[in-house]
């Protein structure tokens, strides 16, 4: 057997071995084939729910995202694809028909959108009015994903057999409320918590992940009907200015209703978490809030530990 024949056989074996590492990788029909499938892995920049493990470092297994791939310098065209999140955050196209890198060796660019109801044609996004359940909460968690370079900037990727990490970022703001029973030991278990006077809709540009103005009428968002948990409960709303109007409403199991109004205005930012610790006394209310990235760490604003104290507003 000639040397070149041996090398050819060894090369073919190498291709077979490489393909066997990914189950049923098939090229997308009608696309130029480089022989290198585009393999993706999901990661989430932060947490999606305080006190639980919902989507901590990757999207939950079974979740779906829309992925849009382009070859900026030509060489291939790609159809939009829905990807499913598998165990460990691995991403696979529904139907398991994988796109391939361009034949001419050019790089690809991509972006991904979550939840799957958000597409390239979406222009506004609206959070759910009732986020008491996990499903509604997740449907309110607008995320935008891209491949990032070492400096955290969006980047293109040349043909490679290495699995690429698509990092999803939370685009909206998270409000976490924790109730504590204070002086007089009022019962806080099974309290209902709502956000008041907040906007639910915001403009969104899918290709860049940019947000624009809020719209619609301000209203209520139900956070939970089971307040009083140790870690607190959360809801997601668009970034927006918060006024000194009623912002939090707590209905205790006793039927008493407490409203909380900030003593100063502040602006909610994209990708930030605002933690409100409410100590409910028999004759008063103390609220402190901290601001941090959508993570378990806090930034300089959080370390400032803004504390508002004062008389609560009770109503029947």
- Taken in order of first residue, the domains within the chain and their CATH numbers are 40-170 (2.60.40), 173-314 (2.60.40.2630)
CB 98 within 8 A of CB 31: no
What is each CA distance from 280 to 31, 69, 123, 246, in whole angstroms? Answer: 62, 51, 41, 16
For residues 28 and 97, give the distance between their C-alpha atoms in angstroms, rounded to a whole number. Answer: 5
Residues 6+ apart with CB under 8 A from 205: 123, 211, 212
pTM beyond 0.85, yes or no: no
Mean pLDDT of 16-45: 64
Is pLDDT above 50 for 256?
yes
Least confident piece of the model among 45-54, 121-130, 179-188, 197-206: 45-54
* Cα 63–Cα 119–Cα 162 angle in degrees, nearest 5: 60
| Res 308: pLDDT | 34
For residues 94 and 109, give the distance between their C-alpha atoms in angstroms, rounded to a whole number. Answer: 20
Mean pLDDT of 93-115: 95
CB 49 within 8 A of CB 176: no
Q: Please indicate whether residue 309 or residue 224 has the higher confidence score (pLDDT).
A: 224
CA 214 to chain centre: 19
Q: Please indicate whether residue 46 or residue 78 has the higher confidence score (pLDDT).
A: 78
* Beta-sheet pairing, 26-27 with 97-98: parallel
Q: Is the dihedral of CA 148, 21, 58, 46 positive or negative?
A: negative
* Cα 144–Cα 300–Cα 127 angle in degrees, nearest 5: 35
Which of 177, 175, 180 has its CA nearest to residue 279? 180
State the chain's mean pLDDT as an integer.
82
CB 201 within 8 A of CB 130: no
Question: Is residue 315 exposed (0-12), middle (13-18) or buried (19+ Cβ within 10 Å)?
Answer: exposed
Q: Which two tokens stand for residue 278?
A: 């409410």
Burial 120-153 (b: 16+ CB within 10 A, else e): eeeeebebbebbbeeebbbbbbbbbbbbbeeeee
| Res 62: pLDDT | 93
Q: What are residue 224's DSSP bridge partners? A: 193
For residues 296 and 168, give the distance between their C-alpha atoms in angstroms, rounded to a whole number. Answer: 17
């Amino acid at each position: 057997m000639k040397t070149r024949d041996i090398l050819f056989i060894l090369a073919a074996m190498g291709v077979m071995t490489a393909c066997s590492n990914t189950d049923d990788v098939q090229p997308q029909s009608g696309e130029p084939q480089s022989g290198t499938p585009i393999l993706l892995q999901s990661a989430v920049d932060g947490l999606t729910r305080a006190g639980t493990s919902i989507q901590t470092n990757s999207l939950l297994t079974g979740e779906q995202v829309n992925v849009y791939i382009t070859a900026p310098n030509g060489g291939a065209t790609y159809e939009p694809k829905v990807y499913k999140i598998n165990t460990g955050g691995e991403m696979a196209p529904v139907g398991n028909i994988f796109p391939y890198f361009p034949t001419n060796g050019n790089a690809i660019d991509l972006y991904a959108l979550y939840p799957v109801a958000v597409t390239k044609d979406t222009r506004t996004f609206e959070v759910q009015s009732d986020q008491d359940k996990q499903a509604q909460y997740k449907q309110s968690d607008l995320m935008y994903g891209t491949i990032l370079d070492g400096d955290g900037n969006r980047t293109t990727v040349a043909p490679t057999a290495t699995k690429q990490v698509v990092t999803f970022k939370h685009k909206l703001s998270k409000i976490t409320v924790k109730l504590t029973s204070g002086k007089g030991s009022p019962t806080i278990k099974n309290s209902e918590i709502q956000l008041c006077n907040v906007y639910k809709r915001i403009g969104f540009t899918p290709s860049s992940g940019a947000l624009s103005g809020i719209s619609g009428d301000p209203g209520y968002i139900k956070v939970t009907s089971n307040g009083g948990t140790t870690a607190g409960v959360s809801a997601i709303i668009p970034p927006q200015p918060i006024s000194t109007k009623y912002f939090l409403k707590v209905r205790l199991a006793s039927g008493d209703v407490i409203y909380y109004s900030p003593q100063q205005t502040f602006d909610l930012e994209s990708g930030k978490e605002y933690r409100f610790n409410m100590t409910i006394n028999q004759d008063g209310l103390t609220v402190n809030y901290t601001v941090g990235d959508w993570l378990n760490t806090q930034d300089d604003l959080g370390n400032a530990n803004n504390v508002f104290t004062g008389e609560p507003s009770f109503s029947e």
